[in-house]
Amino acid sequence: MGFENLLLERDGAVGVLTINRPQVLNALNTPTIDELRRAVLDLKHDAGVRAVIVTGAGEKAFVAGADINELAVQRPVEGKEHALRGQHVFDLIENMGKPVIAAINGYALGGGCELAMACTLRVAADTARLGQPEVNLGIIPGYAGTQRLARLVGKGVALDLLLSGRQVTAAEALQVGLVNRVVPAAELMSESKRLASELAAKPPVAVRYIIEAVNRGLEVSFDKAQFLEATLFGLVASTDDMREGTAAFLEKRKADFKGR
């Protein structure tokens, strides 16, 4: 089934998902969020996909936020449902069990910054601008921006960005830990694909459990998080890839992971 507001392509083991509403700087309206949910579930359940890139169509924007036309008319009960729907989809991205790389090709504001933060890693073009400008609209972030930003960059920087609503450059985003890498704009997709292919070649069960241990571990006590880690550490010993990885090291050769 096709999408109206998304493009979904495959490049080997890498799925490339493009938010495709360039006329409104890829703003996320409800149909786009619903399509995103479907696309994310497709990617999650497709065993041939080992890593995913999320980006925005056009030169200017990754995603310039939730669609302000919808926000302008929403009422309280709808507003809550709107936030819950977006939070749910972004949770699916965060917990897809495969590395999801946000290739931030321009403005990543509001819901766009929240989408990028739900991804596993963020690569920004040097021309990108990030921020949570909701306060300037008289609202607050509703797709978990208040939570993921504080977890990513710490409470002090998060409150600065959330309260000022200011845009930060890619360089500042890198400095505060909001993005992982900054590359020249012309190299954004090639670098993101190189990184995605590198991660796609890693043993997928170990990759999935690392993401799970970090995501879930941060939300529970240290003691419980360590117990989760120990359990996943044990589980990963059931994989052929664990035997291959350790044998390859001892035999001084490159590991050939099969994804089992």
Choosing from 7, 8, 68, 242, the residue that interacts with ligand COA (CB under 6 A) is 68
Contact status: 135 vs ligand COA (CB under 6 A): no
Sheet strand arrangement including 129-131: 61-63, 107-109, 129-131, 168-169
Catalytic residue (one of 134, 212, 229, 244): 134
Q: DSSP string covering 51-112, please?
A: EEEEEESSSSEEE--B-HHHHTT--HHHHHHHHHHHHHHHHHHHTSSS-EEEEE-SEEETHH
Known catalytic membership, residue 229: no
Interface residue with ligand COA among 7, 8, 24, 206 (CB under 6 A) is 24
| 36 binding ligand COA? (CB under 6 A) | no
Of 68 and 185, CB closest to ligand COA = 68
The one-letter amino acid at 190: S
Nearer to ligand COA by Cβ, of 68 and 159: the residue is 68
Amino acid in the structure at residue 125: A
* Residue 65 within binding range of ligand COA, rule CB under 6 A: yes
Q: Would you say 109 or 157 has its CB closer to ligand COA?
A: 109
Active site includes 134? yes
Query: Least separation, in Å, of the C-beta of 224 and ligand COA?
Result: 34
Contact assessment for residue 64 and residue 44, using Cβ atoms and an 8 Å cutoff: no
- Does 168 interact with ligand COA (rule: CB under 6 A)? no
Q: Which of 14, 16, 17, 27 binds ligand COA (CB under 6 A)?
A: 27
Report residue 99 as tokens. Answer: 């590395």
* Piece of the chain touching ligand COA by CB under 6 A; list 61-69, 89-97, 173-181, 225-233: 61-69
Q: Which 8-state DSSP code applies to residue 28?
A: B
Say how far apart CA 59 and CA 193 lie, in whole Å: 18
Size of the site for ligand COA (CB under 6 A): 16
- Candidates 63, 113, 115, 123; CA nearest to 94 is 115
Helix (H, G, I), strand (E, B) or coil at 220: coil
Question: Among 56, 133, 203, 204, which residue interacts with ligand COA (rule: CB under 6 A)?
Answer: 133
CB atoms within 10 A of CB 164: 14
Query: At its nearest, how many Å lie between ligand COA and the CB of residue 109?
Result: 4
Q: Would you give the binding string for ligand COA spanning residues 91-120, x where CB under 6 A is met? A: ----------------x-xxx---------
Interaxial angle between packed helices 240-250 and 204-217, expressed in degrees from 0 to 180 and rounded to the nearest 10: 110
Which range in 46-54, 131-139, 224-232, 236-244 contacts ligand COA by CB under 6 A?
Answer: 131-139
Amino acid letter, residue 203: P
- Distance from the first to the final alpha carbon of the chain: 29
Catalytic residue list:
114, 134
**Binding footprint of ligand COA on the chain (CB under 6 A):** 24-25, 27, 64-69, 107, 109-111, 133-134, 137
